[in-house]
Amino acid sequence: MSEDLQNKMLFQQVAELLQNARQQVLRTVNSTMVCTYFEIGKMIVEEEQSGKDRAEYGKQILKGLSEQLTNEFGKGFSLRNLEQIRKFYLIYSNSATVLRIFDIQKTQTVSAQLLDNIPQTVSAELNSQTLFSIFKLTWSHYSFLMRIDDENERRFYEIESEKYNWSVRELKRQYDSALYTRLTLSRDKEGVLKLSEQGQIIEKPKDLIKDPYILEFLGLPELHQYSESELEEEIINKLEHFLLELGHGFTFVARQKRITFDDKHFKIDLVFYNRILKSFVLIDLKIGELKHQDLGQMQMYVNYYDREMRLEDENKTIGIVLCQNKSDLVVEYTLPENNEQIFASKYKMVLPTKEDLIKLISESK
């Protein structure tokens, strides 16, 4: 091995180590700040509760504390920020996750104090460790999450942000596209509860499907003024965004995948693979109303992949027809009753409004 190559490899190893160290320091700083804000919020609330006129007394506390902290530590402790810190404690001190972990901590603390020669600082030590185990996102994440009133929905976005390392921007985009609402539409009460406890768990093909898919990142109008090929081209140009919208575990395989039999050629618009389900996922794009022939064509594609492309250790192929509009009855009567492979979903080119969401929920009932 040449000396230059050795030096290059050494540099890459050291650089990677430093990058990891910087990221670890940043995560530690973020976690420390969030945990500190939780403790500050606790102190504020406890002090408020000691006052006779809580509402008026609370305002005086925050105003005075803001002035003193700003003089001592500079920016970051405005009255508005302290109100957010107080709200953060009130919301998360009563959340199901925190209460459950605090119960565990309480049991551990009592058990520890029954043993001989255990210092009395165990409780405080466990408390600090517990907070770090709970709050894994940045303050910017929690500032946004606090805007979500429904605790189940808020917990879902918190879990997904932790599991898949969403930036605040991605968190906002997923919330604005009503990801939680779209996933709940195809689930029963037990399934909706699991979303708030575990996030999105993918165990079968139906768990992958959203209806509608939101493609606002393509920048195309909500009209029929573009062709299927133009739609496909824009998706390829913004493939990273499209993969995020598809969901977890997707990798891109091919576009316009040609299959041939009996001297006839067919092209599948988009081919993906889902690593979680170990299945190929075929997507066909349709402009306008879905036709039963579109579902029949997708069935042919799926059959071909199952018989010619799928390996023995892989699961059955999934087919999704993305269309602008569809009749649920056409889908129901075209596909077999026990269908678990072919799906039809609408797509929208704009983020849903509150009225759109209400309509979606009412139509699903």
Angle formed at CA 220 by CA 182 and CA 165, multiple of 5 degrees = 50
Q: What is the pLDDT of residue 124?
A: 42
> Beta 279-289 vs 318-325: how paired, if at all?
parallel
Look-up of token digits 């599991």 = 163
Nearest-angstrom CA–CA distance, 344 and 334: 11
Look at residue 206 and tell me whether its pLDDT is greater than 60: yes
CATH class of 203-364: alpha beta
**By CB neighbour count within 10 A (0-12 exposed, 13-18 middle, 19+ buried), where does 104 fall?**
exposed
Q: Does the structure show a pLDDT above 70 at 241? A: yes
pLDDT, average across residues 189-213: 87
What's residue 265's pLDDT?
Answer: 93
Q: Over 60: is that where the pLDDT of 125 sits? A: no
Residue 242 has pLDDT above 80, yes or no: yes
- Domain boundaries, given as residue ranges, for the chain: 3-144, 148-201, 203-364
Dist CA 156 CA 42 (whole Å): 24
Q: What is the pLDDT of residue 179?
A: 92
- Three-state secondary structure call for residue 330: helix
Residue 116's pLDDT is what? 41
With H, G, I as helix, E, B as strand and everything else as coil, classify residue 106. helix
Q: Comparing 19-28, 68-77, 263-272, 338-347, which segment has the lowest mean pLDDT? A: 19-28
Q: What is the mean pLDDT of the chain?
A: 83
Alpha-carbon gap, residue 33 to 130, rounded angstroms? 15
Whether 339 has a pLDDT exceeding 80, the answer reads: yes
Task: Describe the crossing of helices 189-198 and 151-163 by its angle, rounded to 10 degrees.
Answer: 50
Distance between CA 118 and CA 273 in Å, rounded? 54
Report whether 62 contacts 44 (CB < 8 A): yes
Residue length of the chain:
365
At residue 227, the pLDDT reads 86
pLDDT at 198 over 90: no
Q: E strands, the chain, where?
A: 213-214, 250-261, 264-274, 279-289, 318-325, 342-348
pLDDT for 52 equals 54
Higher pLDDT, 171 or 55: 171
Instruction: Give me the pLDDT at residue 100, please.
Output: 55
Q: Of 108-117, 222-231, 271-280, give the lowest mean pLDDT range.
A: 108-117
- What percent of the chain clears pLDDT 70, i.e. is strictly above it? 83
Q: What is the mean pLDDT of residues 140-145?
A: 95
**Both tokens assigned to 48:** 């408020």
Question: What is the pTM (predicted TM-score) of this model?
Answer: 0.77
How many CA atoms are closer than 13 Å to the CA of 24, on its beta-carbon side?
A: 6
pLDDT the model gives residue 361:
60
Task: Tell whether the model's pLDDT for residue 102 goes beyond 60.
Answer: no
The pLDDT, as a whole number, for residue 274 is 95
Please provide the DSSP assignment of 188-249 as one string: -HHHHHHHHHH-----SGGGG--SSEE-GGG---SSS-S-HHHHHHHHHHTHHHHHHHH-TT
- Cβ-Cβ contacts under 8 Å for 270 (sequence gap 6 or more): 232, 235, 252, 254, 255, 282, 283, 284, 285
pLDDT tens for each residue of 265-294: 999 999 999 999 999 999 999 998 999 999
Question: What is the Cα–Cα distance from 226 to 218, expressed in whole angstroms?
Answer: 12
